Amino acid sequence: MTDALGSIDMPDAEDETRDKKARKGGKRGKKGPLGRLALFYRQIVAELRKVVWPTRNQLTTYTTVVIIFVVIMIALVTVIDYGFQEVIKYVFG
């Protein structure tokens, strides 16, 4: 069985990797702890810039939906709890 580069048993890419020196740690291996921390925070900021933030209208809508859902769930748990309380009172007197 073969692929675009050659045999699966002996891929062509293997020859190229033997010629290069193996680096230890890449970019992180050359920096101290403060350099790695700075890199970490730069990456955090870069990821946060990629986030699609909701508009004020969307945020208001989502917040309203969550609050209504929570109120409904509180009411449901309250009714079930009251029902169990009445059953326990009836059974144990």
Span 75-88, pLDDT tens digits: 999 999 999 999 99
In degrees and rounded to multiples of 5, residue 46 shows phi and psi of: -65, -40
pTM over 0.85: no
Tens digits of per-residue pLDDT, 40-58? Answer: 999 999 999 999 999 999 9
15 CB-side CA count, 13 A = 7
pLDDT at residue number 4? 59
Q: The dihedral of CA 7, 10, 13, 16: what is its sign?
A: negative
pLDDT at residue number 31? 76
